[in-house]
A and B are shown apart, each in its own frame.
Chain A
Amino acid sequence: MENDLEKMKKTMPYTVPDGFFDMMEEHLMQETVAKKEKSNLRKIALWTGLAVAASLALLMVLRQGLFQTEESSFEQVEIAFTQLSDTDQELMFDYYDEIEYLDNY
């Protein structure tokens, strides 16, 4: 055995599976950049949902103040919800999902 390290070849006994580095690069992109983009989209959805919810709440208060209806507050929410467009309803569900998601952290 040649004990002079400078003369020894700097090889290692370690190997990796074929295509390992390409696979890792793709995987790490998904774990970082793609997740961040997804998280940004969720943030936008959250803030949009909050804006819709705030508008809805304001609408309810105004409606109650102006017309003094006999309906319960839950019925009022239901009615108001059905009057939203499909997109806005979806945003409300997304918002609800987001709250649930955040509650898990």
Chain B
Amino acid sequence: MPTDQEIIAAMKEDPQKGFGLLMASYMKPVYWHIRRMVVAHADAQDVMQETFVRVFRSFNQYKENQPLNAWIFGIAINEALRFLGKRKGKDILSLEDTSEDLFNLKADDYVDYSDIEAVKLQKAILSLPAKQQIAFNLRYYDELSYDDIASITRSTAANVKANYHNAKDKIVNYLKSND
């Protein structure tokens, strides 16, 4: 897998090669992050497309003092929040809002309903406010550091840590109460 520095250098010298490297590194983690937020595959596909088109078109605005993963995930999260907001009749979903009422796993073909434990965990995650969902997903699934997550969410590491632990407690309680 190419390093972020290699991707950045390639994007400047040869955008076709650079974008290929960028997608090789980030397409899957970005897709799965979006998918956990918007649930349906078709919606995740649309949001991912918007994300990568935006990444490509605005790459000249990327500042190298920010980690590349933070910049890309930041765009992806913003696009996902914008998508979820539209479904609620807003421009963008607030970080304090939840998307639980939009959760409808039954409507999607690409969900393995036989994995009951995994379905329940996703429902628990989706019951959280967006800011806790984001902190939890980036820490639990992507195993990013609190500093990296803080950079993505434009917050502080302490704040992210608090959000993650709150999220974890709520998820455990949700799972217990829905046993």
Query: Do most interface residues of chain B lie in helix, strand or loop, or is the interface mixed?
Result: helix
We find that the number of chain A residues with CB closer than 8 angstroms to chain B is: 26
Which residue on B lies nearest to A4, using beta carbons? B172
Q: Nearest chain A CB to B3's CB is how many angstroms away?
A: 19
Q: Which of A15, A21, A33 contacts B111 (CB 8 A)?
A: A15
- Contact at B53–A32, with CB atoms within 8 Å? yes
Is B163 part of the contact surface with A, judged by Cβ < 8 Å? Answer: no
Instruction: Look across to chain B and name the residue whose beta carbon is closest to the beta carbon of A11.
Output: B118
Q: Given that A5-B171, A16-B41 are contacting pairs, would A32 and B115 also be in contact in the complex, using a CB cutoff of 8 Å?
A: no
Contact at A29–B118, with CB atoms within 8 Å?
no
In the complex, whether B103 has a CB less than 8 A from a CB of chain A is: no
What 0/1 readout, one digit per residue, does chain A (31-53) give for beta carbons within 8 Å of chain B? 11100100000000000000000
B90 interfacial contact with A, CB 8 Å: no
> C-beta contact mask, B113-129 vs A, less than 8 Å → 1, else 0?
10101111110000000
Residues of chain B within 8 A (CB-CB) of A16 are 31, 41, 110
Q: How far is the CB of A98 from chain B (nearest CB, A)?
A: 21
Within the complex, the shortest CB–CB distance from A29 to chain B, in Å, comes to 7
Chain B, range 107-150, C-beta contacts under 8 Å to A: 110-113, 115, 117-122, 140-141
Contact A5 B15 (CB under 8 A): no
B57 at interface (Cβ–Cβ under 8 A)? Answer: yes
B36 to A12, Cβ gap below 8 A? yes
Partner of A13, one of B24, B45, B48, B115: B115
Q: Mark A1-15, 1 if CB is under 8 A from B, else 0.
A: 111110011111111
**A12 and B117 within 8 A (CB):** no
In the complex, chain B residues whose CB is within 8 Å of the CB of A28 = 19, 23, 49, 52-53, 56
Whether A27 sits at the interface, judged by CB under 8 Å, is yes
- Is B28 within 8 A of A21, CB to CB? yes
Contact A33 B23 (CB under 8 A): no
Flag if B15 contacts A13 (CB, 8 Å). Answer: no
Contacts of A86 in B (CB 8 A): none
Asked if B176 is an interface residue, CB under 8 A from chain A, the answer is: yes
